[in-house]
Structure 1
């Protein structure tokens, strides 16, 4: 006696496996379309040209001998110029989080009586950050990865390899 195909367990196993792969693929497609990656740039050519311009700003910082030291203890950020005689009315400090763009922030720092740039945060700032220092005129730039908090002063100096 012959049984119908739908009563056979092996037939269901053969149908279920490809069907589950199709369902998983459709679910993955919906997830990918619903949450696009914010780190991918659509205008990559313009960004590439901007990177070349940024490298020239880093080279200008090297030529001018720009060097700073950074320390952060008890939510107080201190950035002090080292080895340069020039005084800055304002120092731009941009902090970029490596993965969460919503955590990025900008500080316009003015010097205290000693020429040090200070800022006190309300909440702790921790982890890995890409820090960009630039002048008010934005004609030079120093970019470096830093880990916060920092008990000791760390040197911030221009490095063309970091300019992107």
Structure 2
């Protein structure tokens, strides 16, 4: 009698079976809970960021300047000939830039008296759209003058700060008639408004 009394189940005052509350608790839909969305959003953000990065890299990639190494390799013989011709004629050019975007150039050398027009190409280091080509006309003796199409310093036509460093190429406008020579150099206009080009490179003054 004592053993059976001890092992008997305890009475439930409410008349319910054990576990009744757990079994009958209503389950919420998964989309109303926090953790499923947390686990979904994290990888989604990473994917969106990766796509945005690829898009920006493609759309705003730097353009190569015209005078790339590949093209230099293809035209190496011609360019060496042009440099050699400039050395033989002792061609030297001093280029001045004033705030009104006017260029003045003093040209000295042998066999240059018949040249009335020069072509000066200014190449932006990364953006081809900012490149300029200026024709300089002989005005008096050794002096040539020309005008830039857009400022090289300050703000350019794209609304961005202009690059102060430019690659220069100078040669006769009609090179087939007045000698196939050329001068090349690099000009940092934030430091100097005068540059001297000669057959072995460029000297900033």
Report the TM-score when normalising by structure 1: 0.71
Distance 1:3 1:151, change over 3 A: closer
* Structure 1 contact 77–119 (Cα < 8 Å) conserved: yes
Q: Is 1:112–2:139 an aligned residue pair?
A: yes
Q: Is 1:130–2:167 an aligned residue pair?
A: yes
Partner of residue 70, structure 1: 95
* Structure 2 contact 185–201 (Cα < 8 Å) conserved: no
Distance 2:30 2:181 in 1: 75
Q: Deviation of residue 45 (structure 1)?
A: 4.9
* Structure 2 contact 132–149 (Cα < 8 Å) conserved: no
* Structure 1 contact 72–151 (Cα < 8 Å) conserved: no
Alignment length (residue pairs) = 159
Question: What secondary structure, in the 3-state scheme, does the structure 1 residue paired with 2:175 have?
Answer: coil
* Structure 1 contact 93–133 (Cα < 8 Å) conserved: yes
Distance 1:34 1:74 in 2: 33
Distance 1:98 1:53 in 2: 23
Answer with 1 or 2: which has the greater Rg.
Answer: 2
Distance 1:104 1:14, change over 3 A: same
Q: Is 1:48–2:85 an aligned residue pair?
A: no
* Structure 2 contact 92–196 (Cα < 8 Å) conserved: yes
Partner of residue 146, structure 1: 187
* Structure 2 contact 64–127 (Cα < 8 Å) conserved: no
Distance 1:44 1:38 in 2: 14
Bigger shift: residues 45-54 or 20-29: 45-54
Could you say what the CA RMSD is over the residues aligned between the two structures, in angstroms?
A: 3.6
Distance 2:45 2:39 in 1: 11
* Structure 1 contact 73–151 (Cα < 8 Å) conserved: no
Distance 1:59 1:5, change over 3 A: farther
